[in-house]
Chains A and B, each alone.
Chain A
Amino acid sequence: MSPEHALEVVNLKKAFGGLIVTQDVSLKVRPGERRLIIGPNGAGKTTLFNQISGDLRPNSGMIRLFGADVTHSPPYRRAHGGLSRTYQIITLFAGDTLEHNVSLGLLGLRPSRWQMWRPMSFYRDLASEARRTLDEVGLLHLADHPISDIAYGEKRRVELAVALAQRPRVLLLDEPLAGLSNTERSTVKSLIASISRETTVIMIEHDMDTALDLAETVTLLNYGRVIVDGERDTVIADERTREVYLGT
């Protein structure tokens, strides 16, 4: 069975007290699609991601991952269902090496994470797989350094490597380009562009110049609502997009 949608969000609603942050949001993302989510600050983009990944529970609505209802599943179960994400604020294990960080991502999906008498280093393929992924993001030479040693732009790439190593079927990228220099930007951009079509990519990003090149479809959020949704060029040309986002 191959479901029609990799990710389906139906009438999602989330409020913090009186503040409604997600209002009747519905999304349909096809397998392999590249979706960009845009919207001004406070539009509810990250909150939407947090609900998709399970960090937050919606008040109502439904989330389906490849046809399976995951609305009430804890985050780790969604991860095992093929969902992976990065964070806007870097969320890495600062004292550990790059290799260890990426290895943890791999370990999370394996039964050996419950192994209580063998160290991680016993599983050689964990380390080799982690190093391979680090090579993909161009950080192999730093594999044995602790995260606290490396630069911000490099940390962003480790964030990406941790998620990519899991070979997710759906990948949520929360501002992967934030705070990067121009050179780093183009590195990360080509990195994202090279992600296999087996993976559906949904990305929040403010840097429109870079992000629009990567996207096929665009969703515009504002005040927790979907304003426009569709093919990239249609959304960009739409008057409401100009009004809300491009500020004319």
Chain B
Amino acid sequence: MKWIGAALLGGSLLLPPFLAGDFYINLASQIMIAAVFALSLNLLVGFGGMTSLGHASYLGVAAYFSALLTSRYGLGHGAAALISISGTVAMAAFFGVIALRATGLGFLMITLALSQVLWGLAYRMSNVTNGDNGITGLTRPAPFGISLDSPVAFYWFVLIVAAVAFLLMAVFVSSAFGSSLRGVRDQPRRMAALGFNPWLIRWITFIYAGFWGAVAGLLYVYYHKYIHPSSLSTTSSAEALLGVIAGGSGTLGGPAVGAALVLLLKNYASAYVERWNMLLGLVFLFIVLVMPAGIVPGFTRLMAALRGEAR
């Protein structure tokens, strides 16, 4: 039942290019990018119990790296992507050492502070980042000579990357290491007494989450062909965190659903409702009150209850 649902959902992702217009195809691409980003954050929040409020750092830094390398230093997209991702992963390794000195609220504050530093740099180092004007005139890569400039071509590209990302993150959390990670989330002391190294498990996960955050960042900058310091802002981190919690942290599908919800409210509802932030707040409040575990666990439970009654 669960698998049929997942297969249907996965299959429906193949449809937009044949059914929808450019606006909706672009919207779907953006949703998938946001989903990859939320899923990477979910590795920390849901599976690792590390609530980060600075995950935009990885998205933003990878995006800036790519933007600068391709526009200013004239690098090809392949080399730029490689450097962007490795640079961001190295940064995640370093940030992880700092942030993982604490857990819980302390961890959250450190990730917030670190991301604020980067955001400030992006604003102030205008000779490098072009400050508040952002970097414009960027291009999309053309893998194997296929141009990604049309919405449909880009949609397929994002779909492939997102599917691989989803699969690899699913494998990661289902692995023996993933079991260790969940153990460390629930009972760190016990896990240490059983022979696990909680710090190292958290650090590796932190870096892995940074890696997928960087991948999301590349997709983000390819899509917009523009990058602005706001991509590094706390709002950007918080929106992803909101998506993770609304969709259901610690589940595989939840953060994707949550990210879709946030993005739809932001990009679609905002056309009709001026105060879309208020709407987002109300929706979030509704979710927290009615389905505290998130949309996906909430619906799973609802379905189970309905089936139980039908019998």
Q: Assess whether B195 is interfacial by the CB under 8 Å rule.
A: yes
Residues of A within 8 A of B175 (CB): 115-120
A108/B195 in contact, CB under 8 A: yes
Q: B interface, by DSSP: helix, strand, loop or mixed?
A: helix
A217 within 8 A of B: no
* CA–CA, A107 and B197, complex, Å: 12
Are B176 and A112 in contact, CB atoms less than 8 angstroms apart? yes
Taking a contact as CB atoms under 8 Å apart, the answer to whether A116 and B192 are in contact is no
| Per-residue interface assignment for chain B, residues 170 to 202, with 1 indicating a CB less than 8 Å from any chain A CB and 0 otherwise | 011011111110110011011111111110000
Is the Cβ of A104 less than 8 Å from the Cβ of B179? yes
Residue in chain B with minimal CB distance to A86: B193
Q: Decide yes or no whether A85 CB sits under 8 A from chain B.
A: yes
Q: Give the docked Cα–Cα distance between A74 and B186 (Å).
A: 19
In the bound complex, residues from chain A placing their C-beta under 8 Å from that of B182 are 93
The 5 closest A-B CB pairs, nearest first, are A108-B195, A108-B194, A79-B195, A75-B192, A115-B176
Q: B180 and A94: CB pair below 8 A? A: no
Establish whether residues A76 and B195, one from each chain, have CB atoms under 8 Å apart when the complex forms.
yes
Residues of B within 8 Å of A94, CB to CB, are: 186
- Specify which chain A residues have a CB less than 8 angstroms from the CB of B178 in the assembled complex: 116, 119
User: How many chain B residues have a CB neighbour from A under 8 Å?
Assistant: 23
Q: Report the bound CA distance from A87 to B177 in whole Å.
A: 24
Q: In the complex, what residues of B have CB within 8 A of residue A84's CB? A: 193-194
Residues of A within 8 A of B190 (CB): 87, 91-93
Tell me if A207 is interfacial: C-beta within 8 Å of chain B. no
How many A-B contacts if CB must be within 8 Å?
Answer: 92
**A74 touching B176 in the complex, CB below 8 Å, given contacts A91-B187, A93-B186, A94-B186:** no
When C-beta atoms are compared, the residue in chain A nearest to B199 turns out to be A74
B residues apposed to A, CB below 8 Å: 171-172, 174-180, 182-183, 186-187, 189-198
B172 / chain A contacts, CB cutoff of 8 Å: 116-117
Contacts of B180 in A (CB 8 A): 104, 107-108, 113
A150 CA / B99 CA spacing, docked (Å): 37
- A84–B190 CA distance with the chains assembled, in angstroms: 10
A152 at the interface (CB under 8 A from B): no
The contact of A93 among B171, B187, B189, by CB within 8 Å, is B187
State whether A166 and B176 are in contact (beta carbons under 8 Å apart), knowing that A55-B189, A117-B171 are contacts in the complex.
no
Tell me, yes or no, whether A224 is within 8 Å of chain B by CB.
Answer: no
A-B contact pairs, 17 of them (CB 8 A): A54-B193, A74-B197, A84-B194, A85-B193, A92-B187, A104-B183, A108-B191, A114-B177, A116-B171, A117-B172, A119-B174, A119-B176, A119-B178, A119-B179, A120-B176, A120-B179, A166-B195
Per the 8 Å Cβ criterion, residues 68-107 of A in contact with B are 74-76, 79-80, 84-85, 87, 91-95, 100, 104-105, 107
Question: Which residues of chain A are near B192, meaning CB under 8 Å?
Answer: 54-55, 74-76, 79
Interface string of A156-182 (1 = CB under 8 A from B): 000000100010000000000000000
Residues in chain B near residue A112, CB distance under 8 A: 176
Q: How many angstroms between the C-alpha atoms of A120 and B182 in the bound complex?
A: 13
Across the two chains, which residue of chain B brings its CB closest to A84?
B193
| B residues in contact with A114, CB < 8 Å | 176-177
Residue of A nearest to B198 (CB): A76
Are B176 and A113 interface neighbours, CB within 8 A?
yes
With a cutoff of 8 Å between Cβ atoms, the chain A residues found around residue B189 in the complex are 55, 75, 91
What's the nearest-Cβ distance from chain A to residue B185, in Å? 10
In the complex, what distance in Å separates the CA atom of A76 from the CA atom of B184?
A: 12
The CB with the most chain A CB atoms within 10 A, among B172, B176, B189, is that of B176
Instruction: Let me know if B194 and A105 touch, CB within 8 A.
Output: yes
A109 and B187 contact, Cβ closer than 8 Å, known pairs A115-B175, A117-B175, A120-B179: no
8 more contacts with CB within 8 A, not counting A80-B195, A114-B176, are A74-B192, A91-B189, A93-B182, A94-B186, A108-B180, A116-B178, A120-B176, A166-B194
